Amino acid sequence: MKNTIFTGAGVAIVTPMNEDGSVNFDALGELIEMQISGGTDAIIICGTTGESSTLSDEEHIACIKYTIEKTAKRIPVIAGTGSNDTAYAVELSKEAERLGADGLLLVTPYYNKASQRGLIEHYTKIADAVNIPMILYNIPSRTGVTISVDTFKVLADHKNIVAAKEASGNISAIAKLIAECGDKLDVYSGNDDQIVPIMALGGKGVISVLSNILPRETHMIAQLCLENNCAEAAKLAAKYLKLANSLFIDVNPIPVKEALNMMGINAGHCRLPLCDMEDSKKEAVRAVLKEAGLIA
């Protein structure tokens, strides 16, 4: 059995931006403190929700460094270091390890669409280069590639490959993954609307967008599952399902940044090519936040 990086709800934290488009580290620090005080179980920095694809190398490393230092070992920090260039992912992963990251999140190579054999070679190359645990991120809707259960089974034999973030939406495949990999591979939900079903099957938690605005509630959904109280977890998840879904009425992280700004938490805008939502979508998010009692 491998060591688990975290259990519960880890936040896929946004990267706040200043008006000029630069990273707002002061606002990032405030968000980190809000998450820790709200009971979040881990911080995932520079993932999809953190706009990693539009961060420069220097910004990417600076965000990881800042988050590790600000969090100060209070909860684990997991650094997004994935790429569709294996050599680049290796170097970024080694740098995150040097900075003190507790784990790595590595998205499936996108656009060049590796074969299953290519995925095995890609992830093995990275895992051989570091000595910290890795979470493999399966999100075919963004990458165009699905990590098969058979591929996961091969990769799970590597000591540094300890978990999967599953955002395929395919509950049947996730059930098979958990059944066949067992203690060799922890599984986290990558979708906020699937926390309870995935954890009921044996998942260890969620890497969450919803946690950005509801850290304590998302933590409680996962915690109830960990306590084998899935019935209560399902009630709580149902209460916030409409809110969770509203964060995906446009491309992530556009809606969650808009929601944070509406709540008076400075997240700034997204970087192009992601742009602000049209007014009708903004009003839809505003209405759901009001209904949830998060804004007046």
pTM: 0.96
- Which tens digits make up the pLDDT trace of 207-227? 999 999 999 999 999 999 999
The active-site residue out of 65, 165, 204, 282 is 165
Question: What percent of the chain has pLDDT above 90?
Answer: 97
Helix spans in the chain (H): 25-37, 57-71, 86-99, 116-129, 140-143, 149-155, 171-181, 195-200, 215-226, 230-239, 241-246, 254-262, 279-291
Within a domain: residue 137?
yes
Within a domain: residue 278?
no
Verify whether residue 282 is a known catalytic residue: no
Within a domain: residue 270?
no
Q: Is the pLDDT of residue 1 over 80?
A: no
Give the Cα separation of 95 and 60 in Å (integer): 10
Contact 134, 106 (CB under 8 A): yes
Phi, psi dihedral angles at 203 (to 5 degrees): -65, 155
Neighbours of 6 (CB within 10 A): 23
Overall number of domains in the chain = 1
- Which tens digits make up the pLDDT trace of 83-120? 999 999 999 999 999 999 999 999 999 999 999 999 99
The active-site residue out of 123, 137, 188, 240 is 137
- Mean pLDDT of the region 199-214: 98
Which CATH number goes with the domain that contains 160? 3.20.20.70
Within a domain: residue 253?
no
- Which tens digits make up the pLDDT trace of 223-274? 999 999 999 999 999 999 999 999 999 999 999 999 999 999 999 999 999 9
Task: Give the helix, strand, coil percentages of the chain, each rounded to 5.
Answer: 50, 15, 40
Within a domain: residue 144?
yes
Q: Is the pLDDT of residue 2 over 90?
A: no
- Which tens digits make up the pLDDT trace of 39-80? 999 999 999 999 999 999 999 999 999 999 999 999 999 999
Give the Cα separation of 74 and 90 in Å (integer): 27
Q: Is the pLDDT of residue 293 over 90?
A: yes
Residue 23 to residues 1, 10, 102, 169, 195, Cα–Cα distance (Å):
39, 22, 23, 31, 30
Within a domain: residue 47?
yes
Within a domain: residue 176?
yes
Within a domain: residue 289?
no
Give the Cα separation of 91 and 107 in Å (integer): 15
Verify whether residue 239 is a known catalytic residue: no
Give the Cα separation of 7 and 11 in Å (integer): 12
Q: What is the extent of the structural domain holding 201? A: 8-229
Give the Cα separation of 262 and 296 in Å (integer): 10
